Amino acid sequence: MITAIKDGLRAGLITAIIFTFLILIGFTSVAANIIGDILGNPQVLNNETRLPVGNLLIFIALVGLFTGLVTLKKGSNPPWTDVLFRGLTGGILAGLIVGTVIYIVGSFHMEGVDFRAYLPNLGASQLGYLLFYSTPIAASKTYLLYFTVFSLVGALARKTLTMLTGLRNKLKSIKSQIIDWSDKKNFHSLVGNQLFQAGLIILVGIGLYFLPLVWGSYWNYIMGTVAIYILLGLGLNIIVGFSGQLVLGYVAFFATGAYTFALLTAPEPHAVGLNLWVAVGLSTLVSILTGLLLGLPILRLRGDYLAIVTLGFGEIVRILIRSDLLTPLTNGPKGVTNVGQPIWRGHVFSDVNYMHLLMLLVLAGLFIAKRLKDSRTGRAWIAIREDQTVAQATGVDTYKYKILALLLGAAFAGLSGALFASRNQFTGPEDFALMVSVNVLCIVIIGGMGSLPGIILGAFVLKGLPELLRELADYRLLAFGALLVVMMIVRPEGLWPGQNSKKGKMATFSNSLGEDNLEEKV
The Cα–Cα gap between 158 and 164 comes to 10
Q: What is the DSSP string of 170-216?
A: HHHHHHHHHS-THHHHHHHHHHH-HHHHHHHHHHHHHHHHHHHHHH-
In the window 245-274, what residues touch another protein (CB under 8 A)? 246, 248
Q: How far is CA 234 from CA 24, 120, 239, 458, 463, in A?
A: 38, 40, 9, 11, 15
Nearer to another protein, 141 or 302 (CB): 302
The Cα–Cα gap between 261 and 330 comes to 12
Helix (H, G, I), strand (E, B) or coil at 505: helix
Range in contact with another protein (rule: CB under 8 A) among 134-142, 304-312, 418-426, 459-467: 304-312
CB of 487 to another protein, least distance (A): 8
Q: Which of 308, 366, 472, 495 binds another protein (CB under 8 A)?
A: 308
The Cα–Cα gap between 69 and 449 comes to 31
CB of 26 to another protein, least distance (A): 7
CB of 162 to another protein, least distance (A): 24
Helix (H, G, I), strand (E, B) or coil at 427: strand
CB of 402 to another protein, least distance (A): 11
CB of 27 to another protein, least distance (A): 8
CB of 515 to another protein, least distance (A): 6
Helix (H, G, I), strand (E, B) or coil at 318: helix
Q: Which of 34, 208, 320, 368 binds another protein (CB under 8 A)?
A: 320
CB of 413 to another protein, least distance (A): 19
The Cα–Cα gap between 509 and 490 comes to 16
Q: What is the DSSP string of 483-500?
A: HHHHHHHH-TT-SS--TT
Q: Does the protein bind another protein through residue 519 (CB under 8 A)? A: no
Backbone angles phi, psi at 344, to 5 degrees: -130, 120
Nearer to another protein, 183 or 520 (CB): 520
In the window 60-99, what residues touch another protein (CB under 8 A)? none
Q: Does the protein bind another protein through residue 307 (CB under 8 A)? A: yes
The Cα–Cα gap between 303 and 249 comes to 13
The Cα–Cα gap between 281 and 125 comes to 55
Q: Which of 40, 42, 75, 297 binds another protein (CB under 8 A)?
A: 297
> Residue 462 has what DSSP assignment?
I
Q: Does the protein bind another protein through residue 399 (CB under 8 A)? A: yes
CB of 479 to another protein, least distance (A): 9
Helix (H, G, I), strand (E, B) or coil at 421: helix
Q: Does the protein bind another protein through residue 123 (CB under 8 A)? A: no
Q: How far is CA 389 from CA 163, 393, 398, 504, 517, in A?
A: 49, 6, 9, 21, 15
The Cα–Cα gap between 453 and 32 comes to 34
Nearer to another protein, 187 or 509 (CB): 509
Q: Does the protein bind another protein through residue 313 (CB under 8 A)? A: yes
What are the residues whose beta carbons fall under 8 Å from the beta carbon of 450, sequence distance 6 or more?
A: 237, 241, 242, 373, 382, 385, 498, 500, 501
In the window 17-56, what residues touch another protein (CB under 8 A)? 21, 24-26
Q: Does the protein bind another protein through residue 286 (CB under 8 A)? A: no
Q: Which of 163, 296, 465, 473 binds another protein (CB under 8 A)?
A: 296
Site string for another protein, 463-502 (x = CB under 8 A): -----------xx-xx-xxxxxx-xxx--x----------
Q: Does the protein bind another protein through residue 412 (CB under 8 A)? A: no
Q: Which of 157, 274, 298, 472 binds another protein (CB under 8 A)?
A: 298
CB of 447 to another protein, least distance (A): 13
Nearer to another protein, 1 or 117 (CB): 117
**Footprint on this chain of another protein (rule: CB under 8 A):** 21, 24-26, 118-121, 244, 246, 248, 296-298, 300-305, 307-309, 311-313, 315-316, 319-320, 323-325, 389, 399, 438, 441, 445, 474-475, 477-478, 480-485, 487-489, 492, 506-507, 509-515, 517-518, 520-522
